Amino acid sequence: MTDEPERTPRPARRIDARSLRGLAHPLRMNILELLGLDGPATATGLAERLGENTGTISWHLRHLAEHGFIEEETGRGTKRERWWRRTGVTNELNTTDFRDDPDIRGALSVYLHEMVQQYFSRVMKYINEDWDDRWRSAGTVSDWRDLRMTPQQLKALNAELMGVIARHTPAPDAAPDPDALPVVVQLQSFPRKERGTA
């Protein structure tokens, strides 16, 4: 029994081959990341941050909107300067959906490569920034290498870790703590081939 109110999970959608093709582009993935990390933005603002021209960014924004990853923030901006935000949907990608589809392998490879590059870049930015001791000692870059698991055990571990994150995720209508900063939690868990195996 808990006194905490039940949180309504965000709606989720499973990324299909068409959506994956629409997302699997380095610039579109960078745009989507910035909208997710820093909130709504205009094509002009994104172009300045990404070192691209506004026309190129506008084209990619329309492409992301066509595939349901972002939407226009109505009631804000002008006809010339539209504001864009991520949709309130969690996108789920299951790579096994595309295992037997040779036509989508290229897009999947681009997506996974760019995603891992984004994870790496976030960690390097944190390491290179100047943080006070409270925040430096609160963050972590850790790994564990002495685990041996079956696929079912690894899946259970991931579900349990995601449950912990969900419990620490504030409700959308929660008042922000003035001492709180945005926090990124990155989780990579995967098997590795043992030495001597193909």
The string of pLDDT tens digits covering residues 53-101 is 999 999 999 999 999 999 999 888 777 789 999 998 889 999 989 988 8
Select from 53, 47, 55 the least CA-distant residue to 30: 47
Neighbour tally for 153: CB within 10 Å: 11
Q: What pLDDT shows up at residue 99? A: 83
User: How high is the mean pLDDT of the chain?
Assistant: 91
Q: What pLDDT shows up at residue 1? A: 38
Q: What pLDDT shows up at residue 60? A: 98
Rounded CA separation 95/80 (Å) = 39
Q: What pLDDT shows up at residue 67? A: 95
Rounded CA separation 141/131 (Å) = 15
Rounded CA separation 148/125 (Å) = 31
Q: What pLDDT shows up at residue 159? A: 95
End-to-end Cα spacing for the chain: 49
Domains recognised in the chain with CATH numbers:
12-138 (1.10.10.10)
pLDDT in tens for each of the 198 residues of the chain? 344 445 566 788 999 999 999 999 999 999 999 999 999 999 999 999 999 999 999 999 999 999 999 999 988 877 778 999 999 888 999 998 998 889 999 999 999 999 999 999 999 999 999 999 999 999 999 999 899 999 999 999 999 999 999 999 988 889 989 999 999 999 999 898 888 766
Q: What pLDDT shows up at residue 4? A: 47
Q: What pLDDT shows up at residue 172? A: 81
Rounded CA separation 132/130 (Å) = 7
- Asked if 24 and 111 touch (Cβ cutoff 8 Å), the reply is yes
Q: What pLDDT shows up at residue 198? A: 62
Q: What pLDDT shows up at residue 42? A: 96
- Asked if 84 and 42 touch (Cβ cutoff 8 Å), the reply is yes
Residue 14: strand, helix, or coil: strand
